[in-house]
Amino acid sequence: MESANLTLQILQPRENRWIQLRQRPVIAWLTGLSGSGKSSLANAADQTLTAHGRHTMVLDGDNLRVGLNSDLGFSAADRDENVRRAAEAAALMAEAGLIVLVSLISPHRAERANARRIARDLSFLEVFVSTPLQVCEARDPKGLYQRARKGQIPEFTGVSAPYEPPCGPDLTIVTEGRSITDSAQPLVDALLRLSKLP
């Protein structure tokens, strides 16, 4: 009898997990230049969603490169693989029922289209954090633009490597002249709506 119950638990459809969490999963893919505010927005949305009782996870370049992608460098091929692995991890977490906020520059449209394909039938929200290059450079929290302008960082997106803005993002967020809380609110609203069970 015990093994029969175990078999039933293993065979439960993913929707049963979502019902237990009282939410539908969503992948929110935040793309934009370095310094645009992607991670700040993701973390602010994460805190607000948690306060609303939602179950979330933030994936960004920092926490991915510490473990899952620690073997990758910054070549074009490695950067593509970084995005692909992030998409696969996000899809697995969403299958389990989480709202996953992915914060990656992911500069190429093809990379982001592939991330959406990897998500299959899961809700996928492409979020363009539309912050002008000069504003990102003025912020430059890690001094990366300054180093890139000196030639110390080759192939730096926005300086010596291109960024392809989304043609038709699901959501565009402007951070210039706005607080992080205000900027994050449209994202929070969209995720609360998309994650609501029928």
Q: Which is catalytic among the residues 39, 106, 130, 183?
A: 106
| Active site annotation includes 130 | no
Secondary structure letter of residue 96 according to DSSP: T
**Tokens standing for 46?**
């994460």
Burial of 1: CB neighbours in 10 Å, binned 0-12, 13-18, 19+: exposed
Burial of 11: CB neighbours in 10 Å, binned 0-12, 13-18, 19+: exposed
- Under a CB-based contact definition with an 8 Å cutoff, are residues 28 and 198 in contact? no
Helix axis angle for 76-95 and 109-118, nearest 10°, is 30
- Neighbour order of strands in the sheet with 56-60: 56-60, 99-103, 26-31, 123-129, 171-173
Secondary structure letter of residue 157 according to DSSP: B
- Under a CB-based contact definition with an 8 Å cutoff, are residues 34 and 136 in contact? yes
Catalytic residue positions? Answer: 106
